[in-house]
Structure 1
Amino acid sequence: MHILDNLHQRGLIQDIVKEAALRALMSQQPIKVYCGVDPTGDSLHIGHLFPFLTLKRLQNAGHKPIVLVGGFTASCGDPSFKSAERQKLPLETLSQWSDKLTQQLTKLLSFEGENAAQLVNNKSWFDNMPVQFFLRDIGRHFSVNNMIKKASVVSRLNNDKQGMSFTEFSYSLLQGYDFAHLYNTENCQLQIGGSDQFGNIVSGIELAKRLHGADVFGFTQPLMTKADGQKFGKTETGTIWLDGNKTSPYSFYQFWLNTSDDDVEKLLKAYTFLPLSDIADVMAKHQHAPEQRLAQALLAKDVTCLIHGNAAFNSAKRISELLFKGEVSALSKEDFTQLSRADIKTVVVNQSQHSLSDVLLQGKLVKSKSQARQLISSNAIKVNGSTRQTPLLTKADALHGKYALISKGKKAFCLAKIN
């Protein structure tokens, strides 16, 4: 099967430029393909992961990936469908974030072998670029008349409260030059990105043609959304990050495990490397017995192992099973440390005795102390897996000398750190 057919069947291509010619070229020889990301934070999140997994699929098919970290473009800010200009950040911060993203990206792709991945940073060609060259040799190829008609620009120009700066307006030229530069220096012939990047990708294709007579290609991927229309990758507590210190492996695992039945097949196709036939088999089993959540378990395992490794997956799975069974005393000190970084509210207790009602209220398990007292008296609250009717939390409740896990039902928890 042609790699483009596989990507189409997985739902990973939205818009593609000159598909027939690209298909023929990829059938003849391996090509270089790039995907870029600006270091706008100190970690990638699972939305970033989507196109870079596609880059890995292309590498697995024999093509050569180039990862571009936008150390320069991050200082300008991509206005594509953004409601406001990106906050200006210190260059030192951008450099640090570039290094952190680089570390994460190098774990996703192979940097060895005949089609080893390459890593580049556009600071290396923009930092010393003369303004005269940018205006004369790049800017002359872009029509302002056409640029202001782009949907991403129009939405900002029509916003009386938040217009668009010249810095942002120039972003399309910068990203366009990235592609032209990578074609000229690396013979890179394909760029991929999210659906919001289509205009910038087309700009790069046109600039490469005008500067170097190049015939290059691009495709975008659809915006990943849930079946209910909500943006994928967000929870009530925030973004799902790849950095285990920002989103613990346990929380990461739980996110995928809690995928809805309506979304799980789409996510198996987009976020795992399982053959389509294997996905069809597990979905058939899932349809027969959805209560077993076999598809969700497979999704959570594959993605957690990919990002955090087998050991972290095994730990997250074990913590989940122990919490479900109520066997809290079996959790290790390291397990509690991971839970303290999870989406479980942590309450610090600095007294030898503390009101359990206060902990429940601070831990967001109840809305009032009267509700807390009612739940305690009706045996609905457990401390470390055991029903608790006494109204106090004491040092004797601390497992490993520090932690107590309070639960309401099987899925609502808060963690008390007893000092």
Structure 2
Amino acid sequence: MKTLVERGYLSQATNLAAIDAAFAEGIVPAYVGFDATADSLHVGHLLPMMTLRRLQQAGHKPIVLIGGGTTRVGDPSFRSEVRPMLTDEQIAKNIAGIRKVFDRLLVFGDGPTDAVMVNNATWLDSIRWIDMLRDVGRHFSVNRMLSFDSVKSRLEKQENLSFLEFNYMILQAFDFLELSRRTGCRLQMGGADQWGNIINGIELVRRMEGQEVFGMTAPLLTTSSGVKMGKTAAGAVWLNGDRLSPYDYWQFWRNTEDADVVRFLKLFTDLPMDAIERLGRAERAELNAVKERLAHEATRLVHGLNAAKDASATARQAFEHGEAAQGLPTLQLDAKERLAGVALVDLLVRAGLSSSKSEARKAIKGRGVRVDGEIAEDLDLVVFIHPSPVRLSLGRKRHTVVK
């Protein structure tokens, strides 16, 4: 518990003293749930993932619960619209993609502290509706469910909340009950927005099993300027390399605000606290070296040591020497586009340097876009990729090679 507190993973807990005592007594199985809405998780998911890693490092058992069943419903928490419905095939593909990053962060196996990945479709798919209403539904007060912020905010804004979504909190509570029965799970963890759902699960286990289980949430992760972690102007910061290159992932951490560097070193690297304390004393120009260390360590955890080294070398080559470095993200055009040319605003969007054409035009107007090192000022500029590749740059730190 000391590690979780001093590194900044703890926001709320149901019974901190009891959780600490359980950790001291023996191995505590603990879980975090992730719905399979995409074939990769993103940086916004990384905090609870790292909490599982810390628990395993301390000799406890991580349970990764994949919502193969709940993905079909969709968590309504603080959302303004219903999630799109996915097919079973899409969900299976997404689960396979999500597993990749967990294989780097956790050790899976059959040992007492080895991580396990569990799919809640195992039990949710076989639930009988009347049994669910009679055995589980009777323990839930609709009045109380309506009082949760995640639901109340939708109703206050007069945004549609389907009966399907309204059932999500019951299904998540049932997950905790099933994991308690099947694995002896005693602790559910999640983001700060999951507090109400976690409490529901704790109460359900107590009422149906007569056992005390616990809940813990990590803080809502924002930058010092108040921006929610997980997205940039170009889109989500995905954890899988086929969604976002290791170089771009490295660069995301390199661009950390000065005030966040030490906090992110604690949360997203394995560096010991005394080393982080020394790095935290850096000032002014020295901070750049510390940010590079953060980028290296964070990239190493998710993509591996070689990818982190390659990303660092690519950044040095691109920024220190102004070269079109090997290893930069690339956008491949077909032969027809190469001959006809492509509008610069379209290239910026397709390359992931801008999230929309309007944002691309704004960047050009602000003289923040370069084509092969030359500032682009023409909003209607058409780029021809012939006979050699072209390097697009947004600001000083983001580059893509168009081939």
1:381 and 1:207, CA in 2 relative to 1: closer, same or farther beyond 3 A? closer
1:132 and 1:271, CA in 2 relative to 1: closer, same or farther beyond 3 A? same
Aligned to 2:402: 416
**3-state SS in 1 of match to 2:65:** strand
Following superposition, the deviation at residue 179 of structure 1 comes to 0.5
Amino acid at match of 2:172: Q
Aligned to 2:390: 404
Aligned to 1:144: 142
1:322 and 1:137, CA in 2 relative to 1: closer, same or farther beyond 3 A? same
Is the CA contact 1:110–1:117 (under 8 Å) kept in the aligned structure 2? yes
Matches within 5 A, 1:15-30: 15-30=12-27
Aligned to 1:340: 330
Following superposition, the deviation at residue 294 of structure 1 comes to 2.3
Aligned to 2:315: 320
1:173 and 1:361, CA in 2 relative to 1: closer, same or farther beyond 3 A? closer
Following superposition, the deviation at residue 14 of structure 1 comes to 0.8
Aligned to 1:388: none
Does residue 1:273 correspond to 2:270, yes or no?
A: yes
1:382 and 1:99, CA in 2 relative to 1: closer, same or farther beyond 3 A? closer
CA distance in 2: counterparts of 1:274 and 1:412, whole angstroms: 27
CA distance in 2: counterparts of 1:406 and 1:94, whole angstroms: 35
Alignment deviations for residues 372-419 of structure 1 (CA, whole Å, 9 cap, x no partner): 9x99xxxx977489xxxxx996745x2xxxx232558744645332xx
Aligned to 1:259: 256
Following superposition, the deviation at residue 325 of structure 1 comes to 2.8
CA distance in 2: counterparts of 1:412 and 1:347, whole angstroms: 19
1:109 and 1:352, CA in 2 relative to 1: closer, same or farther beyond 3 A? closer
Is the CA contact 1:35–1:51 (under 8 Å) kept in the aligned structure 2? yes
Matches within 5 A, 1:65-104: 65-104=62-101
Moved more, 92-101 or 147-156: 92-101
1:276 and 1:158, CA in 2 relative to 1: closer, same or farther beyond 3 A? same
Is the CA contact 1:406–1:416 (under 8 Å) kept in the aligned structure 2? yes
1:140 and 1:411, CA in 2 relative to 1: closer, same or farther beyond 3 A? closer
CA distance in 1: counterparts of 2:14 and 2:304, whole angstroms: 36
Amino acid at match of 1:147: M
CA distance in 1: counterparts of 2:106 and 2:191, whole angstroms: 19
Alignment deviations for residues 315-362 of structure 1 (CA, whole Å, 9 cap, x no partner): 111111111133526x44xx2xx5116xxxx7778588888xx87666
2:300 to 301, 305, 309: 305
Matches within 5 A, 1:307-386: 307-326=302-321, 328=323, 331-332=325-326, 335=327, 338-340=328-330, 363=347, 383=372
Q: Where does the alignment leave 5 or more consecutive residues of structure 1 unmatched?
A: 386-390
Amino acid at match of 1:163: N
Q: Where does the alignment leave 5 or more consecutive residues of structure 2 unmatched?
A: 354-359, 375-381
Aligned to 1:53: 50
Does residue 1:34 correspond to 2:31, yes or no?
A: yes
Following superposition, the deviation at residue 15 of structure 1 comes to 0.9
More contact order relative to length (CA 8 Å, sep ≥ 6)? 2
2:208 to 205, 211, 216: 211
CA distance in 1: counterparts of 2:231 and 2:186, whole angstroms: 33
Q: Which has the larger radius of gyration?
A: 1
Amino acid at match of 1:405: R
Alignment deviations for residues 29-78 of structure 1 (CA, whole Å, 9 cap, x no partner): 11111111000111110111110111110010000111100000010111
CA distance in 1: counterparts of 2:402 and 2:113, whole angstroms: 50
CA distance in 2: counterparts of 1:202 and 1:351, whole angstroms: 55
**3-state SS in 2 of match to 1:299:** helix
Amino acid at match of 2:83: R
**Could you state the TM-score of these two structures normalised by the residue count of structure 2?**
0.87
Alignment deviations for residues 191-222 of structure 1 (CA, whole Å, 9 cap, x no partner): 10000100110011000011111110010011
1:14 and 1:354, CA in 2 relative to 1: closer, same or farther beyond 3 A? same
Alignment deviations for residues 104-132 of structure 1 (CA, whole Å, 9 cap, x no partner): 32332101444111111000011111112
Give the aligned CA root-mean-square deviation in angstroms.
3.0
2:155 to 154, 157, 163: 157
**3-state SS in 2 of match to 1:148:** helix
CA distance in 2: counterparts of 1:352 and 1:61, whole angstroms: 55
CA distance in 1: counterparts of 2:140 and 2:42, whole angstroms: 33
Aligned to 1:189: 186
CA distance in 1: counterparts of 2:307 and 2:23, whole angstroms: 37
**3-state SS in 2 of match to 1:34:** strand
Following superposition, the deviation at residue 145 of structure 1 comes to 1.5
1:141 and 1:317, CA in 2 relative to 1: closer, same or farther beyond 3 A? same
Amino acid at match of 1:300: A
Amino acid at match of 1:45: H
Amino acid at match of 2:223: K
**Could you state the TM-score of these two structures normalised by the residue count of structure 1?**
0.84
1:361 and 1:12, CA in 2 relative to 1: closer, same or farther beyond 3 A? closer
Aligned to 2:131: 133
CA distance in 2: counterparts of 1:394 and 1:178, whole angstroms: 53
CA distance in 2: counterparts of 1:164 and 1:371, whole angstroms: 41
Following superposition, the deviation at residue 292 of structure 1 comes to 4.7
Following superposition, the deviation at residue 300 of structure 1 comes to 0.3
Is the CA contact 1:189–1:217 (under 8 Å) kept in the aligned structure 2? yes
What is the number of residues matched between the two proteins? 384
1:359 and 1:138, CA in 2 relative to 1: closer, same or farther beyond 3 A? closer
Alignment deviations for residues 81-124 of structure 1 (CA, whole Å, 9 cap, x no partner): 11122122222212221222123323321014441111110000
* Overall identity of the aligned pairs, in %: 38
